Chains A and B, each alone.
Chain A
Amino acid sequence: MDRVAIVGIGQTKIEASKERQNYPEMVYEAVKLALEDAGVGMDEVDNVVTTSNDFWDGRTISCMPVGGVSGAFDKNISGVEGDGTFGAFYATCRTLSGSYGSTLVTAHGKGSESRSIAPMITNAAFDPVLARSLGLDMTTACALQARKYMQRYGITEEECAQVSVKNHGNALDNPNAQSPMKITVEDVMKSEKIAEPLKALDVSPISDGACCLILANEERAKKFRTKPVWLKGVSFCADAFQLGDRDLSECKPLEQAAAKAYRMAGITDPRKEIDVAEICDAFTYQELMWTEGLGFCKKGEGGKLVTSGATAKDGDIPVNPSGGLLSGHVAIAAGMYRMIEAVRQIRGEAGGMQVKEGVKTALAHGVNGLCGQSHCVWILGSE
């Protein structure tokens, strides 16, 4: 198989509200930065993929206004609905199919525009006939999962709180983060109860932002200014839809996606071979669950892992040195932001977030649906 590399990255700062920009303007900012980063003009881009969601954008055919700013006027273009990691997957396929030498892919979210109706938007993920009238949304559904997981493995609320302390603290070194904070476990425990066991500081904020990747095949990668970061492995997988059909204390699809991505990348011992991971911690307990699903520790030991300091910036398997979603959660773009952070780590350009010199292998992760129904795992590498 041909090889594909990330040769350009661009992102806006993540903020609670970018009310002076509409969403195509945010995407344009990210695209412009990615082209600058790659050191090329739009003529070096062969085709375009955009990632968006009609519900969050409050717009049918939400990909429509971003095609032009992504440079697609006279190019082939397609649109993915879902997390940015899925958009990046399709962009990779379009490069690997031999049809295009380079693909530009964008993702955006403007949660500020729908902040007051966010529960309604995620309630629309429930089946309209069988469940929607019960009024559940992302937060209440995840609260059910949090309790199930914590109960099964004896994970404590304090252990979850440590994720919040770590990630908000990491964000202090991230100039693009929305909510850097120096907080304590006690602060988290005392924060407003939303849906037990979830408290305000267990929950990621609603954010605005856009990001962009430029991908190229091996031959074309030479034309770009940057040192290519190679896509070494990728896979995604989905669980059953209805919450009651799933064992909510498990993340089987993540385990399967990770296993396939590791196999593709030749990774046999993820804890040892992965230098840094950027994963979707929409809720604190999820970082613990996902670190287990990714094989960084045994099942049920996610709490111990964070307590041990292993996932801290200077730990042996740093997780979310950027501050993760807890420090800025741009719905739909979240996973692509993780990929960008992973690229920075491999390039050694992560500044205060840099986990060490010579990062060779980084993992990025994205999620679709309720309670981590569908996961996408990326392995990026320096060679």
Chain B
Amino acid sequence: MGDYWSDAENMVQPGKIKVPYTWQAGEMASHYFTRLRDEKKILGKHCPKCDKVLAPPRKNCPFCTVPTDEWVELSGQGTVDTFTVVRKGNAIQPMKAPFVYALIRLDGADTGFLHMLGEVDPEAVKEGMRVEAVFAEERIGSPRDIAYFKPIG
């Protein structure tokens, strides 16, 4: 290097992107979240073509695009399919490390449900563990109306 341009002091400038977003849930997810919020019910939706229950529900089946039909009320209990113990946390996570993220197969559903585990020793979590939803005190109609899933028994 070593020329007029390359020799200048290095200027790195911080810049923020702070565009605010408002995402519409749409009719389907609004129904799902209002039932979750008001009645502490987790609903799935059934695809008539694949004969699968999708939880969280979708308006169209992600596999075949056919509109889903029946709402299916789930018990809120399920089985841990896979999990991770977060050891190094970051600012966007709702819990402080160490804590557990899990994919949970809800009873009666054919898809995995993404959430966190609570009231559990991270060391004791295993695939196949039975868990149930613990609902947040304050519910606003969001995935976090479920505070976390805790082991049953």
Contact = CB atoms under 8 A, between A and B. Distances in A.
A and B touch in the complex (CB under 8 A): yes
B143 A242 contact: no
A86 B82 CA distance: 31
Contact of B87 (A148, A151, A193, A245): A193
Interface residues of B, number: 42
A183 interface: no
Contacts of A58: 15, 17
B64 to A, nearest CB: 11
Contacts of A245: 54, 62-63, 111-112
Given A123-B92, A244-B111, A129 B101 contact: no
A147 to B, nearest CB: 5
A133 interface: yes
B87 A129 contact: no
Interface size class of A (residues with CB under 8 A): 35 or more
A193 B103 contact: no
B133 interface: no
Contacts of B115: 134
A270 interface: no
Interface string B74-86: 0000000111111
A240 B143 contact: no
Interface in B79-108: 81-88, 90-94, 101-103
Given A137-B90, A193-B87, A244-B113, A130 B56 contact: yes
B10 to A, nearest CB: 5
B152 interface: no
Interface string A131-143: 1011111001001
Given A19-B10, A140-B101, A192 B113 contact: no
A119 B92 contact: yes
B86 A140 contact: yes
Most buried by B among A129, A194, A241, A245: A129
A272 interface: no
A189 interface: no
Contacts of B127: 147, 151
Interface string A145-169: 1111001000000000000000000
B94 A136 contact: no
A288 B114 CA distance: 25
A130 B93 CA distance: 16
A196 B84 contact: yes
Contacts of A134: 94, 101, 114-116, 143-144
B116 to A, nearest CB: 7
Interface in A24-43: none
A157 to B, nearest CB: 13
Nearest to A123: B92
A246 B15 CA distance: 37
Given A58-B15, A243-B114, A144 B94 contact: no
Given A129-B23, A144-B83, A242 B92 contact: no
Contacts of A19: 10, 12
B141 to A, nearest CB: 10
Contacts of A244: 55-56, 103, 111-114
B21 interface: yes
A47 to B, nearest CB: 30
Given A135-B94, A244-B113, A130 B143 contact: yes
B114 A148 contact: no
Given A148-B82, A240-B62, A242-B62, A136 B88 contact: no
B88 A133 contact: no
A146 B10 CA distance: 40
A208 to B, nearest CB: 12
Contacts of B120: none
A147 B87 contact: no
B29 interface: yes
A243 B112 contact: yes
Interface string A114-132: 0000011001000011110
Interface of A: 19-20, 58, 119-120, 123, 128-131, 133-137, 140, 143-148, 151, 192-198, 240-246, 248
Given A140-B84, A143-B101, 17 more contacts: A58-B15, A128-B21, A130-B143, A133-B143, A136-B114, A151-B82, A193-B88, A194-B86, A195-B84, A195-B85, A197-B84, A240-B62, A241-B62, A242-B114, A244-B55, A244-B103, A245-B63
28 contacts: A58-B15, A119-B91, A123-B92, A128-B23, A131-B114, A133-B94, A133-B142, A134-B94, A134-B114, A136-B114, A137-B90, A140-B84, A140-B86, A140-B93, A140-B101, A144-B101, A147-B82, A192-B88, A193-B87, A195-B87, A196-B85, A197-B84, A244-B56, A244-B113, A245-B54, A246-B112, A248-B82, A248-B103
